[in-house]
Structure 1
Amino acid sequence: MPHEINHSYKAVIFDMDGTVLDTLSELTHSLNHIFRLHQLPELSPQEVRLCLGYGYTGLIERAAPSVPADEQALLAEEFKQYYSAHCQGNTRPYDGVADMLAALRNGGYKTAIVSNKGQGAVSLLHEEFFRQLVDFSIGESPQYRKKPAPDMIEKALHLLNCRPEQAVYVGDSEVDKETADNAGLTSVLVTWGFRDSSFLESLHPDYLVHSCQELTHLFLPND
């Protein structure tokens, strides 16, 4: 794939979990805490990793597929409450993320985060890690359908005063690729998150990158 973007963009929009933040440890801890309360088998980080990307209800559906739907809804609500209170405990930006976001902003790009994580946790993590690095962060709420629906991306584009062809969506999963396609944005997938590189390559994103440095160079080839 090309090593730099041959197009003029105004904005770069990022997924949160698995893209700019390493949240796997805290998500695994929170999920297993809820599962223990309900005498459900605990999952390893690798198992949890493959269930992520679909929001809280999607996580429970994939992590506990044999549980009846009404119980899944209860688990999802309990997970939301517990995780929202503990989301900052073991969560950090991936190495190089802060420098990458700063470089993009200094290079003239508008930046934002759009995530299927609940808005409460997204707001807390935005304030802790990204307040000076991105314009805003949008999370799951009743106002918008979850990704891969384009609703949250469309809201972000409105706030950024950008057309779809002027923006790129950066993520780490099939959900993010489909979201970019549904919203009419160029797709960039990163290999350091919650999906394997070979799987991401099979999705045929517009760009596939393996480090924050490579991502920075994609948009700022002279840096």
Structure 2
Amino acid sequence: MPPQLRPPASSPATGSKAASDSEAPRSLLLDLDGVLVDTLPVMEIAWHAVQDAHGLDVPFAEYREHLGRPFDVIMECLGLANAEAIHRTYTEASTVAAHLARGFDGITDMLVAVAAAGWSLGVVTSKPLLRAKPLLAELGCTFAAVRGPDGQGRGKPAPDWILLALVDLGADPANATYVGDMAVDQEAACRAGVPYIHAGWGYGRPLGPSSVVADSPRELLHLLGIVTPAAPFVEGGLL
């Protein structure tokens, strides 16, 4: 009988790397506006305040198209000068209307499930941290990294804030996922080498038809491979 052929044995280095990759901690980075929290009513009120205070006729719909970019960049895109004064007005009005912001349905349950699965959580947002952190606190979850315009690096679509958040988490891009809702989020993730999932419940569209899209926070868990217990059966309940 001819001898059986065996595959070549893996070298110790290769085997060690495979084991290390399989055991590497996973990280989930998320955008804030349009992914975790519905702040659109707040933004619309703040923009109307800007229109009134500065005599601008740029409609909110046009401002909304550029969400996800740093505020000063949005002003450049809209061809508006005096960005600093406009930002002050916008910030003041946003702070007053902040109580209108709401976490999206299913978001807190999703975050709890991700954390229970051993993933670390982080946020990458273009919202200044002074206004972002109170909104995150309302979700009742711990975010080990929060990166935005107050720190180092260039804003989205540059990859800097995503990469800095991964440094904060001690995570590798290959073991992370970024969830956003605007094209700039997707571009930033691509440039950072981080897999991207588009939040279909948010404010914008993905870059192309081949993009991975989650239509709900629960579907996001499925795409991440995180299994959650099925809802318990209640005797006499409607099917």
- Please tell me the TM-score bracket, short chain as reference: 0.7 to 0.9
Q: Does residue 86 of structure 2 align to residue 79 of structure 1?
A: no
Q: 1:175 to 1:203 in 2, by over 3 A?
A: farther
The size of the alignment, in residue pairs, is: 206
The 5 Å alignment of 1:109-148 reads 109-130=119-140, 132-148=141-157
Residues 171-215 of structure 1 show CA distances to partners (whole Å, capped at 9, x for unaligned) of 01111111101111011111111114xxx261643x211111100
Q: Does residue 186 of structure 2 align to residue 212 of structure 1?
A: no
1:108 paired residue number:
118
Secondary structure of 2:171's aligned partner: coil
Identity value in percent: 28
1:3 paired residue number:
none
Q: Which runs of 5+ in 1 are unaligned?
A: 1-6
1:180 paired residue number:
189
Q: Does residue 202 of structure 2 align to residue 202 of structure 1?
A: no
Highest Rg: 1 or 2? 2
Secondary structure of 2:144's aligned partner: coil
Secondary structure of 1:117's aligned partner: coil
The 5 Å alignment of 1:1-223 reads 10-41=26-57, 43-44=59-60, 46-62=61-77, 65-67=78-80, 69=81, 71-83=82-94, 85-86=95-96, 88-130=98-140, 132-196=141-205, 200=206, 202=208, 204-205=210-211, 207-223=212-228
Equivalent position amino acid for 1:156 in 2:
A
Contact kept? 1:28, 1:48, Cα under 8 Å: no
| C-alpha separation in 2, matches of 1:88 and 1:172 | 20
Q: 1:9 to 1:208 in 2, by over 3 A?
A: farther
Secondary structure of 1:12's aligned partner: strand
Measured after TM superposition, the shift of residue 47 of structure 1 is: 4.3
- Supply the RMSD in Å over aligned alpha carbons: 2.3
With the length of structure 1 as denominator, give the TM-score of the two structures. Answer: 0.82
Secondary structure of 1:129's aligned partner: coil
Q: 1:212 to 1:42 in 2, by over 3 A?
A: same
Measured after TM superposition, the shift of residue 48 of structure 1 is: 4.0
Residue range with higher mean Cα deviation, 73-82 or 176-185: 73-82
Contact kept? 1:122, 1:138, Cα under 8 Å: no
Secondary structure of 1:18's aligned partner: coil
Q: 1:76 to 1:53 in 2, by over 3 A?
A: same
| C-alpha separation in 1, matches of 2:55 and 2:98 | 26
